[in-house]
Structure 1
Amino acid sequence: MDKILEYTLEFMKKLLLTPSPTGYTDEAIELVKSEFEKLGIENHLTYKRALVATIPGESDDAITYSGHVDTLGAMVKQIKSDGRLVFHRIGGYPFNTIEGEYVVVKTMNGDEYTGTITLNNSSVHVHPEEISKCERNADTMSIKLDELVENDEDVRKLGIEIGDFVFLDTRTVFTKSGFIKSRHLDDKAGVACILGFAKELVEKGIKPKRTINFLISNYEEVGHGASVIPENTKDFIAVDMAAPDTGQSSLETHVTICAMDSSGAYDLHIRNQLVELAKKADIDYVIDIYPFYGSDGSAALRAGHEIRVGLIGPGVSSSHTFERTHKKAIENTIKLMLEYALA
């Protein structure tokens, strides 16, 4: 498992450093696709450019493991007369967590320009009272480009227009103590677990009893990532981040088995089986509930698929802000995926 974990973390770093806010995911999808191809796993793109890969089993009835590459980000909403950019959020995150963040603006013709998200009045030596009392929101914050621009015409000469994507700096750091700190661990940590799991099956030459599908979705953050799934799916396991915090049982070192989220309870039979498998294999796990959370499993159920759905994932603290997990949680998640696939 040490080699698989090393591979998983190396791939995770590549994926974290590949920008993919919802709506701009082709590069991340292609990165995952190329990795499946290196492993010799058949795969194809869906019409809306999600990715499906398959390892045939003894039975065509399939377990589909899903993870999503789309992340939080922003889009240019307005070019102001002073050359600043008004932005609209992609995904749900608090404005205070992006104050001072470095960004990249990607134009339609492929050019990239750096900048910083700041308050419109951001100097303590000029507006001390306003800065301390100002509410952080779309009206009080904007992007200051690292370009010599004085007005909206200067900005448009660069090729920047309304609708251009804005990538947030991920701040990715892998510490000696095993922590991974980065934006967008939701859900690139989960996708990396899927690749580690797939590599383990391939390298050990394991033919599972049931066919294994991998669905890498690209619209999870806006609620319809897994609205279309492989037709042979019987059990659907969403692999997404768990959320440690006050009042929760989730931990940054454990795999979480989610019993319920905002979309309702997950399948009890799958949950009980996951718990029993974790106990027998001595996997560090917890059970948790997330009242303000939804997953690709939620989307699949809302789309009307007659499937059983479970949700597991590594503990990722500070969700949708400055996220952090530990390699132990990644390892425990891969182990539980393997146990369920081979049960």
Structure 2
Amino acid sequence: MKDYTEYIIQQAQKLLSIDSPSGYTEHVSQWLLETYREMGYDPQLTTKGGVLVQISRGTEENTEDPAKGPVMLMAHTDTLGAMVSSITGEGRLKLSPLGGMNANNAEAENCRIVTREGKTYTGTFQLCNASIHVNGEYNDTKRTYKDMEVLLDELVTSAEEVKALGIMTGDIVCFDPRTVVTPSGFIKSRFLDDKLSTAILLGYAKYLKDENITPDRRIYQHITVFEEVGHGGCASIPEQVTELLSVDMGCVGEGLECTECQVSICAKDSRGPYHYDVVSGLIRAARQADVDFAVDVYPYYGSDADAALSAGVDARHGLIGPGVYASHGYERSHKKGVENTFNLLKSYLG
């Protein structure tokens, strides 16, 4: 059986190269539709702009037993970003965050501003009065969106000149991902949450097709596009589905066991516990396949599966993902984390 890790990494790099902050995801969804079709699937674009595809018809479906009914795998390709909220008299752009883009770790990041007419301009997100040789309060100033601005890479010095470029309030701002894959196997980039796990789902879909495998359960994949703002998984779930499995980033940090080389199985996040039987089943599957895993409780986290249940979906739910350090910042994972997540999916779904 071929190793799908390199395919997954390649797909992740392609996904990361496509700007897709929440609300601006058409291009990445079109890329996903084409990729699934190339594999021989029949994906559908949801009304909200996500991608829904059935990757297995199942062989022993039993809708009376939730553990044997159809399962939906969920990942998301919308990322953090920002939106132009106003233009200053000096021709600088003030921003409003999309999702949890933190101003502290976005300082001095290059970005792209996409106008409603489709033009793209570049700039840098900086502290106001950012020259330390001039600003005596530089070290003490809090990094907030109120105190930061985008300097356009254009010769503009007034709001009128900026508007003449076609830039206006409501334009999308995309930050550079700065993707790097090191010889030692580390994957570093903004927005590994959740393009790395989206690539893992693509790898799993390719594995089923290449190896001509039909798991017992009917399996769907739903790549959502509003997860970072809380309602990605709230819709487009087939009525027969009895289980939702979010494949997102696994948290790495103080008080947690997971490392970047493992797959994390989440037992509870900020919205409450995941379904006991699903978590237990994932642990059994990991042990049976000799997968390197950790079970953790995430203190500040919500997933597409959480959103679906909040919207009224009657299904069991779970959450797994490769360990990712520095979430919502410049993130890092490892190929071993990818392999362990992929192998857990294979073991759990049969």
Band of TM-score, shorter chain: over 0.9
1:15 maps to 15
Task: Output the CA distance in 2 between the equivalents of 1:59 and 1:66.
Answer: 22
Task: Output the CA distance in 2 between the equivalents of 1:309 and 1:170.
Answer: 30
1:246 maps to 254
Does the 8 Å contact 2:81/2:101 carry over to 1? Answer: no
Task: Output the CA distance in 2 between the equivalents of 1:261 and 1:330.
Answer: 22
RMSD (CA atoms): 1.0
Count residues with an aligned counterpart.
341
The one of 150, 158, 175 equivalent to 1:151 is 158
Task: Output the CA distance in 2 between the equivalents of 1:86 and 1:179.
Answer: 34
1:308 maps to 316
User: Which whole-Å deviations, capped at 9, do the CAs of 1:147-182 have from their partners, x for residues lacking one?
Assistant: 000101110111101100000010100100000000
User: Which whole-Å deviations, capped at 9, do the CAs of 1:171-230 have from their partners, x for residues lacking one?
Assistant: 100100000000000000110110011111110101111111000000101111111112
The one of 139, 142, 147 equivalent to 1:135 is 142
TM-score normalised by length of structure 2: 0.96
Q: Could you list the runs of 5+ residues in structure 1 that have no partner in the other structure?
A: none
1:188 maps to 195
Which residues in structure 2 correspond to 1:123-272 (within 5 Å)? Answer: 123-127=131-135, 129-228=136-235, 229-272=237-280
Does the 8 Å contact 2:252/2:259 carry over to 1? Answer: yes
2:65 maps to none
1:111 maps to 119
1:318 maps to 326
Q: Could you list the runs of 5+ residues in structure 2 that have no partner in the other structure?
A: 62-68
Cα distance, 1:40 vs structure 2: 0.6
* 3-state secondary structure, aligned to 2:43: strand
Does the 8 Å contact 2:82/2:101 carry over to 1? Answer: no
* 3-state secondary structure, aligned to 2:29: helix
Does the 8 Å contact 2:266/2:319 carry over to 1? Answer: yes
Whether 1:48 and 2:56 are equivalent positions in the alignment is: no
Which residues in structure 2 correspond to 1:53-72 (within 5 Å)? Answer: 53-55=53-55, 56-59=57-60, 61-72=69-80
* 3-state secondary structure, aligned to 1:139: helix
Cα distance, 1:93 vs structure 2: 3.2
Given residue 44 of structure 1, which amino acid in structure 2 is its aligned partner? Answer: Q
2:66 maps to none
Task: Output the CA distance in 1 between the equivalents of 2:112 and 2:14.
Answer: 17
Whether 1:39 and 2:39 are equivalent positions in the alignment is: yes
Cα distance, 1:70 vs structure 2: 0.5
* 3-state secondary structure, aligned to 1:108: coil
Moved more, 287-296 or 55-64: 55-64
Given residue 231 of structure 2, which amino acid in structure 1 is its aligned partner? Answer: H
1:282 maps to 290
Q: 1:94 to 1:49 in 2, by over 3 A?
A: closer
Cα distance, 1:3 vs structure 2: 3.4
**Shift >2 Å, 4+ stretches:** none
Cα distance, 1:59 vs structure 2: 4.5
Cα distance, 1:86 vs structure 2: 0.3
Identity of aligned residues (%): 43
Q: 1:157 to 1:59 in 2, by over 3 A?
A: farther
Task: Output the CA distance in 2 between the equivalents of 1:8 and 1:242.
Answer: 17
Does the 8 Å contact 2:73/2:220 carry over to 1? Answer: yes
Task: Output the CA distance in 2 between the equivalents of 1:209 and 1:136.
Answer: 52
Task: Output the CA distance in 2 between the equivalents of 1:221 and 1:268.
Answer: 25
Task: Output the CA distance in 2 between the equivalents of 1:13 and 1:215.
Answer: 20
User: Which whole-Å deviations, capped at 9, do the CAs of 1:81-140 have from their partners, x for residues lacking one?
Assistant: 10000000011132110110000000011111000011111111111x210111111221
